[in-house]
Amino acid sequence: MIHFLIRRLPSVLLVLVATTAIAFLLPRLAPGDPAAIAAGPEATAEQVAAIRVEMGLDRPLAEQYVHWMGGLLTGDLGQSLQFKRPVAELIGSRVESTFELTVAATILLVAVSLGLGIFAGSARSRLSRFTADASNTVLLAMPPFLFGLLLIILFGVVFRLLPISGEVAVLDDPVIGLQYLILPAVAMAVPMGGHVAMLVQSSMDNAWRQDYVDLAVAKGVPRRWITLRHVVRNSLGPAAVTIGMRFGDMLAGAVVIEMIFARNGIGQLGVSGVLSADYNLVQVIIVGTVLIAVVVQLLTEIAMAVLDPRVRLGA
């Protein structure tokens, strides 16, 4: 595994460097002057110019980028132009909400996608196969934001079973916190489960046609044991990688879900930073999101090698 990580290190560094460049340039291409926003609507041109110098926005872009990168490498994430608070402090105050949502959605994604995929890959009757295929089709056609709105109408308006906006930290009150977490986590995870479920189903269909499965059948091994010991295990590798990729999608999708369910997470903070041209805040959120996605992708590739002995990290 050490050799695998060493081999992947150059590509990971290249991705992170490219991400920092994109994260630095992209907010500056958007309309709006952060100095004017920070100065307020009644500020004079001289006051705006003074604030621009104070923020360092009058310096060349290359110099601003080098200064910002130096801060990143030393742990100085800068100060928010909008909130006048350190970026690290702002993100720290919101990260718990997004972390809870993403972890809960990931657990639901694994449970729903693997459950549906294994059911579809093990189905023998025509009715079971039709039910699994229909479920996968519905999930693939349902975007998370629309599914979230349907959940709000059904469980928050019609039946009034669960809260539809706001949040309570799970660590502060597990019972109430989970009630606030259920709907947004389900809205984000379930629609993404269709793709993973179809991948598991396809992998299991292929595994059933392999020689080692035919040999196990010829030896009289029970079908359930063959399914669990041989077919399912050898079909989970691609699903693990896909779930890791979906983790990055969930971090991006958290922006929409947090807005719909009025959660105070990183996604909503990022939207606020974009609207106010808060360069320092948006840059760090973009780089942090990509860094987490890269780490998760590496972990899923390692998990794939553990699940499927045919895969070798050093190959």
On whether the CB atoms of residues 264 and 272 are closer than 8 A, the answer is no
Contacts of 62 by beta carbon, 8 Å cutoff, 6+ apart: none
Max Cα distance, the chain (Å): 87
* Per-residue model confidence as pLDDT tens digits over 130-183: 888 888 888 888 888 889 999 999 998 898 889 988 888 888 889 999 999 999
| Residues paired with 86 in a beta bridge | 79
On whether the CB atoms of residues 39 and 47 are closer than 8 A, the answer is yes
Closest CA to 183 of 261, 256, 253: 261
Contacts of 301 by beta carbon, 8 Å cutoff, 6+ apart: 4, 241, 244, 313
Q: Which residue has the higher pLDDT, 1 or 11?
A: 11
List phi, psi (to 5°) of 308.
-115, 105
| Residues paired with 60 in a beta bridge | none
* Per-residue model confidence as pLDDT tens digits over 8-56: 788 888 988 899 988 888 877 777 777 777 777 777 888 888 888 877 7
Residue 167 CA to residue 265 CA, distance in Å, equals 10
Tell whether pTM > 0.85. Answer: no
pLDDT at position 180 is 92
Which of the four pLDDT bands, split at 50, 70 and 90, describes residue 108?
very high
* Per-residue model confidence as pLDDT tens digits over 209-254: 888 888 888 888 888 888 888 888 878 877 877 887 777 778 777 8
pLDDT at position 307 is 62
pLDDT at position 310 is 59
Domains in the chain, CATH or no CATH each: 92-264 (1.10.3720.10)
Which of the four pLDDT bands, split at 50, 70 and 90, describes residue 309?
low
Structure tokens at 188: 């984000």
User: Given the structure tokens 């003074």, which residue do they identify?
Assistant: 50
In single-letter form, the type of residue at position 258 comes to E
How far lies 89's CA from each of 79, 83, 93, 267, in Å? 9, 11, 6, 15
For residue 315, pLDDT over 60 is answered with no
Closest CA to 27 of 71, 74, 61: 61
pLDDT at position 1 is 61
Which of the four pLDDT bands, split at 50, 70 and 90, describes residue 314?
low
* Per-residue model confidence as pLDDT tens digits over 246-305: 777 787 778 888 888 988 888 888 888 887 778 888 889 889 888 888 888 788 777 776
Average the pLDDT over 119-134 and give the result. 85
Structure tokens at 68: 């910002």
Residue 215 CA to residue 240 CA, distance in Å, equals 27
- Averaged pLDDT score across all residues of the chain: 84
pLDDT at position 211 is 85
SS (H, E, C) 145-171: HHHHHHHHHHHHHHCCCCCCCCCCCCC
